[in-house]
Amino acid sequence: MSDRVVPEPQRRRRRPTKQGVVLSAELIVDTAIRLIGQHGAEALTVRRLGAALGADPSAVYRYFHSTDDLLLAIADELIGRAQHGWQPTGDWRTDLRAIGLRIHASYQAHPQAALLAAHRTTGRTHEIAAVEAILGILRTAGFPDAEAVRVYHAFVDQSLAFAALDAAALALPAPAAAADLQVWQASYARLDAATHPHIAATAHLLTADMRRSGYPYALDLLLDAAGARLRSAGAGHDG
């Protein structure tokens, strides 16, 4: 029954809950984001959200049709927060690197919402602004249009893909996340050099490296290769 939700403009009463809290869609979204940040991904359940708000869990359904509806609202809020305050330096590599790391970082801050949002094309203002900025950086740097579009595509998809991948790891229930990390020591580090020479030779490096996100290095590789193509393809272009 989605008809429980009253559209924003028609809301009238600001009736406090038993515990004295005056609810609003905004307050619910903020509380949900805080809940995820404080107690991990599993903390976001309607029951716990109700408790954190000081209201009956079902009160949430007066503001959102479903938990999915709520999560989309959260994602939208996060897109807004992500873009905040970035300034270009004029150097294409520095700027792209900064944008990539920013996208990645902002999604990591809210893994559960990231999982939902990372693979959608919204076409909304914040997304459009980002596309225009990235294309501008590439074209100003001298990439021919066709190449600029391909690099843009690879760059954005790689950023979002890694953001979602790393977010998924963070959003995992605690025991599963621990198990995934443990595998490198419990399983890979103990393989016999006779049967698995390459793993055995690099096990110590693997266990150290796999703790971190592979994104920064992958990003550097992408920018390296893009730079090489820029040098060979667009040699005589003006900006």
Contact, 164 vs 156, CB < 8 A? no
Shortest reach from residue 138's CB to DNA, in Å: 37
Number of residues binding to DNA, judged by CB under 7 A: 33
Of the candidates 130, 122, 128, 88, the one whose C-alpha atom is nearest the C-alpha of residue 106 is 130
185 binds DNA (CB under 7 A): no
19 binds DNA (CB under 7 A): yes
User: What distance in Å separates the CA atoms of residue 113 and residue 230, rounded to the nearest whole number?
Assistant: 36
Contact, 117 vs 171, CB < 8 A? no
User: Looking at beta carbons only, is 46 or 226 nearer to DNA?
Assistant: 46
Shortest reach from residue 9's CB to DNA, in Å: 10
User: Looking at beta carbons only, is 11 or 81 nearer to DNA?
Assistant: 11
Shortest reach from residue 150's CB to a second copy, in Å: 5
Of the candidates 28, 25, 31, the one whose C-alpha atom is nearest the C-alpha of residue 11 is 25
Shortest reach from residue 36's CB to a second copy, in Å: 17
Residue with tokens 């998809």: 157
Write out the binding residues for DNA, residues 26-85 only, by CB under 7 A.
44-48, 55-59, 61-63, 65-68
